[in-house]
Amino acid sequence: MLAAVVVLVIANQFSYIDAQGFLHEPGFFVTPFALLLFVGGALLGLWRLVRGIITRIHA
């Protein structure tokens, strides 16, 4: 999750031209890589939470 935030902050410093040729000024946008890291981190955290609850119930 921290890595996703770092990627977002770095990516927001640059303007870029997308596949359609539009110029995007620096601003808030989500890169696919940052989104993947964020979703992956969230799912991993959720899985660890669920696993912890199950372990506690069965203990």
Domain extents in the chain: 2-58
Q: Using only C-alpha atoms, what is the Rg of the chain?
A: 17
Q: At what angle do helices 32-58 and 2-11 cross, to 10 degrees?
A: 170
> Tens of pLDDT along 24-50?
666 555 667 777 778 888 899 899 999
Question: Is the Cβ–Cβ distance between 31 and 3 less than 8 Å?
Answer: no
Q: What is the pTM of this model?
A: 0.45
Hunting for tokens 């696919």 — which residue is that?
A: 32
For residues 13 and 45, the model is more confident at: 45
Q: Taking residues 15-25, what's their average pLDDT?
A: 65
For residues 4 and 51, the model is more confident at: 51
pLDDT at 51 over 70: yes
Copy the structure tokens of residue 45.
Answer: 């955290």
